[in-house]
Amino acid sequence: TARHRIAVIAGDGIGQEVVPAAVECLDAVGARHGIAFDWHHLDWGSDHYRAHGRMMPVDGLDTLAGYDAIFLGAVGVPDIPDVETLWGLLIPIRRAFAQYVNLRPVRTLPGVPSPLAGREIDLVIVRENNEGEYSEIGGRIYQGSADEIAIQESVFTRRGVERVARFAAGLAAGRRGLLTSATKSNGIVHTMPFWDEVVRGVLADYPGVTGRQELVDALAASLVLHPERYDVIVASNLFGDILSDLAGAVAGSIGCAPSGNLNPEGKHPSMFEPVHGSAPDIAGKGIANPIGQIWSGALMLDTLGHAEAAAELVTAFEAALESGVRTRDIGGTATTAEVAAAVRANLT
Ligand code: NAD
Ligand code: IPM
Ligand code: MN
């Protein structure tokens, strides 16, 4: 039996609903493949913040370092500034563990109506996850006055761009061999030309991969009009963030979209979480779509070396969707628990 110690942070809002649903499905598929999960539930998040003034304990990152992987729901609530909740948990984890690849596959799923009915989408967004536009450098001066100025620097390093581009090119080489790089070098004159140059340099090492550079504004439109043209998309932290919600919605719903925050070298734990957030507008109703969280669990299985179990879990949720057990965001009436039960039933 393979045993894996997993840190579970259900977090806020619908994280509390979709995480248990996914854990149930992972236990079911694990049982069929000799995989035992030791789930360590950590009650970190906004309630922890309210009680202790912090999203996680002071030594939270040291605690997480000892696990094989981290399984996260979402964090963020309407009454605490996002800068406290996200920069107090999610972003420090991504950085401390050098999870510099945020892998976000997008596919049309059986039975899930897409606004682009009948189109086949099968792409992966490789989002740079440690630097770029998400920087703490900058500040505000003359606060509250008519002359107030806010400055936010972007930081792109050669090492940082190169490693994510290399990962994306390697991924494309094993798929359809097409790598699209999202750029904005027509408007952002220092960082984006640098991004383009480093990506081109990496592509020289991948003769089997066709590189394409697209301006991110046109790329956003093209993703809606011609999503089947894309194989792997590599993008900066902010562009990748925006494109992944867009692509997720185009494929049916962001409720289905998974992600893996990967440390590809395996030196540190990777973290798996859906693309969506805590969805305060539907939290507590039991109607959240758990597919994004379950699929993130499949990415976790894959990363832990269980490709077969991962594929079986994907097949199980696809069959559940196809049979009509779907939440409201994808045209059904099922509850979160009913979807989880249907997925589990396909794994017995
Ligand atoms: P959101 O992704 O939480 O919700 C956007 C819309 O999509 C909402 O209408 C919501 O109901 C719907 N939706 C999202 N997930 C769904 C699901 N599984 N099933 C059905 N419908 C779903 O984005 P938001 O409303 O902009 O953000 C809410 C909070 O979550 C904010 O505090 C934000 O900062 C945070 N957030 C956290 C993470 C994270 O922890 N990784 C990610 C994104 C947003
Ligand atoms: C995501 C989220 C986060 C991000 C926010 C909540 C900081 O939108 O994981 O996609 O921008 O990375
Ligand atoms: Mn996002």
ipTM: 0.99
Query: Could you tell me the distance, in angstroms and rounded to a whole number, from the CA of residue 11 to the centre of ligand 1?
Result: 12
As given in the structure block, the two tokens for residue 162 are 């190169």
Is residue 88 pLDDT above 90, yes or no? yes
Residue type at position 311: A
| 104 phi-psi bin (left φ>0, alpha ψ -120 to 50, beta other) | beta
Residue 241 catalytic? yes
Output the pLDDT for position 116: 82
Output the pLDDT for position 117: 78
Ligand 2 contact, 275 CB (< 6 A):
yes
Is residue 53 pLDDT above 90, yes or no? yes
Nearest-atom number in ligand 2 for the CA of 94 is 12
Compute CA distances 101 → 68, 231, 235, 260, whole Å.
17, 16, 10, 8
Mean pLDDT across the stretch 262-270?
98
Bridge partners for 101 per DSSP: 128, 262
Is residue 125 pLDDT above 90, yes or no? yes
Nearest-atom number in ligand 2 for the CA of 245 is 10
- Domains of the chain (ranges plus CATH)? 1-103+260-348 (3.40.718.10), 114-251 (3.40.718.10)
**Burial class for 149, CB neighbours closer than 10 Å (0-12, 13-18, 19+):** exposed
Compute CA distances 111 → 203, 311, 340, whole Å.
37, 18, 16
Is residue 115 pLDDT above 90, yes or no? no
- Over residues 317-340, the pLDDT tens digits come to 999 999 999 999 999 999 999 999
End-to-end alpha-carbon separation of the chain, Å? 18
Mean pLDDT across the stretch 73-79?
98
Output the pLDDT for position 113: 87
What distance in Å separates the CA atoms of residue 60 and residue 140, rounded to the nearest whole number? Answer: 30
Question: Would strands 2-11 and 69-74 be described as parallel, antiparallel, or unpaired?
Answer: parallel
DSSP-derived letter for residue 275 is S
Compute CA distances 241 → 164, 247, 285, 290, whole Å.
15, 10, 27, 20
Output the pLDDT for position 114: 84
**Set 184, 206, 231, 329: catalytic member:** 184
Mean pLDDT across the stretch 59-76?
98
Model confidence at 75, in pLDDT bands (50, 70, 90)?
A: very high
Answer whether 164's CB lies under 8 Å from 100's CB: yes
Residue partners of 199: CB distance under 8 A and separation at least 6 = 161, 165, 181, 211, 213, 234
Is residue 173 pLDDT above 90, yes or no? yes
Is residue 118 pLDDT above 90, yes or no? no
Query: Could you tell me the distance, in angstroms and rounded to a whole number, from the CA of residue 13 to the centre of ligand 1?
Result: 9
Query: Could you tell me the distance, in angstroms and rounded to a whole number, from the CA of residue 242 to the centre of ligand 3?
Result: 6
Residue 184 catalytic? yes
User: For the whole model, what pTM was predicted?
Assistant: 0.98
Residue 38 catalytic? no
What distance in Å separates the CA atoms of residue 337 and residue 322, rounded to the nearest whole number? Answer: 17
Ligand 2 contact, 279 CB (< 6 A):
no
What distance in Å separates the CA atoms of residue 103 and residue 258, rounded to the nearest whole number? Answer: 8
- Over residues 200-218, the pLDDT tens digits come to 999 999 999 999 999 999 9
Query: Could you tell me the distance, in angstroms and rounded to a whole number, from the CA of residue 283 to the centre of ligand 1?
Result: 10
Residue 134 catalytic? no
- Over residues 241-254, the pLDDT tens digits come to 999 999 999 999 99
Mean pLDDT across the stretch 157-184?
98
**Burial class for 216, CB neighbours closer than 10 Å (0-12, 13-18, 19+):** buried
